[in-house]
Amino acid sequence: MVMPEPRVWRAARPYAERIARAAKPRVVSAGRAVVQGARAVATRSMKLTTLQLTAGAATFGLALSAGAVATAGPWDSSGQRTAERDWAASRDHEGGADHGRDSGNAAGAPEAARSAPPVLTGLGNSMPAPTKQALADVLTPLLRAPALGSRSTAAVVDVTTGETLYGSGADDALTPASTTKIATAAAALSAAGPGHRIATRTVLNPGAKEVVLVGGGDPTLTAHEDANGYASLRTLAADTAAALKKRGVDEVALSYDTSLYSGPALHPIGVNPNLAPVSALMVDEARRDGSSSGPADRGTDPAADAADAFAKLLADQGVRTKSAAPVKASGTADPLATVESPPLSTLVERMLTNSDNDIAEALARQTALAGGEPASFEGAETAIRAELDRLGLPLDGARFADGSGLNRDDRLTAGLLTALLAKAASPSHPALRPVLTGLPVAGFTGTLRTRYTDDVPGTGVVRAKTGTLTGVNTLAGTVVDTDGRLLAFAFMATETTDPTGAQKALDNTASTLATCGCR
C-alpha cells in the first residue's frame, strides 16, 4: 500500500530539505537523539502517528526522510535551532549573513541581517481539527483531577484558524506564574524587534580621566573566559584599554552608569535566589556560583560587582583604576568601546527555555524603552499592555506586575495565553516566532527536560512553558495531535496543594492532546 504524501509535508518539504543541507553533521547527531526519543514514545505509548510526527516536523523544522523522522534543527544552549538560522541566512544574501549569537562584538562584524527571517515562517495545515465535543469529553475529566485543586481553567485553540476548540473558564484571570514570560516575550519582540541587540559601552568623560561603564540592560553580559557568543566583559575591557592607550592614558577613575533603569531594583518578592536585583548593569546575572540558569546565590549590588570585575580586567590590560562609583555619563563623553548582546530572539529563547527571570525582567524593560515608558516595573507593565493591545490580543482582566511571573499580582487568562501562542505561529507575525521556538521540548530541553520520560506520549511532541509558585501550577504551549493538527493550549490551576501531583496532571493533560484525534 502506498501512502499519499500529506499536504502539510508537501508544503514543508522544500524548506526542510534546505535546512537539512545546511545543518551539516552535527545536526544529524542531534537528530538521532530526537529520533530515538520519538521511536521510544511511539513504541511505549499510545501510538504517535507518522502523520503527527510529520506535521510536527513540518511546523518546527524537522525533516522526514526514508520513512524515519530525523531532525534538521538541533537546539543549542540558547534554545534556537541552528538549522533554522542557517536556512534564514541562505534565503537572501542582502544585509549580511550574520544570524547567530557568535557575532556582533568583533570590530566590523555586521548586525543581524534584517533581510532574512529569524526562523521558518508558519505553515498552513489542511488536516482535520478536533471537534469541540470530543475534546470536552476527553479534557474535562482530566482537568478535574484532585491535584489541580478547586480552581482551574483551560483553553485549546486551533492554531491554523484561531478558533477556540475548548474552553473552561478561559476568560477568568488567574495568577499565571512563569507563563507570564510568554506575554513578556511577545511584547518585547513586537516592540523592539527580534534583531535588536543590547549594548554595554564605556565612555571617557571630557576634561577628566574618568571612564564610565554604561549599562544598557543586558543581563547576559559575561565575564567568563568563554563568552559562548554573549557580550564579553573581557572584550570590553581589552577594547577600552586599547582606546585609552591610544590617548596615552594608563590610569583612570572608574565610574558606572545605571541610569537607564528607574524605580526600585528589588522585586516585590525581596531577596531571592531566582532573581538578582534588577539593574541596567550586571555580569552573569549577578550569580556567585558560576551557573547560567536556575536558582543561585546573587550579589546584592550587581552594578558595583560588575564595575569591580571590570576594574580587575582593565588592570590585566595595564590600566590602573581608582575607586568605582555610580554616576551618569555626560552626553558629551567620548565613546571608547562597545559590546552587544545576541539578538533579542536569542535572549527570548534562552528566557523561555530556562525560565530565566533575570532576562524576563530585562526584556520587560526593553519593551518599556521601545515604547517610550520609564524602564521600571510600572513602566514595563504599561508598555507590555500597550504592545499586546496593539497586537489585538484579549486583555480583559490581565495584569503585568512584572515580566517574570514571580509577582502574585500578575493576572492572565487561558484565552490570552493561547491567543499569544496562535499569534506567534501566524505567518503574518514572523517576528514573534521565537515565542514558539523557545518553548521547552517535553523530555528534551529546559524546564520540561525531566518532567517527561520516553514512555510518556507527550515526550518530544509537547512544547510548553511551565509556571510554578506555591499553590500555582500552569502549563501553556503547543502540541501536534494524531491527525497532524497544531494546537495551542493553556492549563492554569491556582489552588493546588500538591505541586508534584499538579505538574503530573498538567503534563498528562497535554500528552492527551498529543494522542487525541478527538473527532
Query: Cα–Cα distances in Å, from 511 out to 32, 46, 142, 479?
Result: 22, 10, 11, 8
Residues whose CB is less than 8 angstroms from the CB of residue 102 and which lie 6 or more positions away in sequence, other chains included: 229
Asked whether the beta carbons of 162 and 363 are under 8 A apart, the reply is: no
SS3 458: coil
Of 152, 181, 190, 279, the active-site residue reads 181
Q: How many other C-beta atoms are found inside a 10 Å radius of the C-beta of residue 208?
A: 12
Q: How far apart are CA 362 and CA 357, in angstroms?
A: 9
Q: How far apart are CA 254 and CA 505, in angstroms?
A: 54
Sign of CA dihedral 378, 381, 384, 385: negative
What count of Cα atoms within 13 Å lies in the side-chain half-sphere of residue 234? 11
Q: How far apart are CA 388 and CA 452, in angstroms?
A: 32
- The cell numbers describing 162, all together, are 484561531
132 included as an active-site residue: no
Q: How far apart are CA 410 and CA 413, in angstroms?
A: 10
SS3 374: coil
Query: Cα–Cα distances in Å, from 200 out to 51, 214, 219?
Result: 47, 6, 10
Give the orientation angle of helix 302-316 with respect to helix 233-246, to 10 degrees: 50
Asked whether the beta carbons of 203 and 334 are under 8 A apart, the reply is: yes
Asked whether the beta carbons of 72 and 63 are under 8 A apart, the reply is: yes
Of 103, 178, 279, 376, the active-site residue reads 178
Phi, psi of 49 (to 5 degrees): -85, 155
Q: Which of the 8 DSSP states describes residue 323?
A: E
Q: Which residue from 281, 333, 342 is spatially nearest to 310, judged by alpha carbons?
A: 281
Phi, psi of 173 (to 5 degrees): -85, 120
355 included as an active-site residue: yes
Query: Cα–Cα distances in Å, from 17 out to 11, 35, 64, 427, 497?
Result: 11, 17, 9, 20, 48
Of 45, 103, 255, 355, the active-site residue reads 355
- The cell numbers describing 222, all together, are 559575561
Q: How far apart are CA 298 and CA 335, in angstroms?
A: 31
Q: How far apart are CA 464 and CA 22, in angstroms?
A: 27
H helix runs in 280-413, sequence order: 302-316, 344-354, 357-370, 377-390
Residues whose CB is less than 8 angstroms from the CB of residue 49 and which lie 6 or more positions away in sequence, other chains included: 482, 483, 484
The residue behind cell 497535554 is 510
Could you list the active site residues? Answer: 178, 181, 355
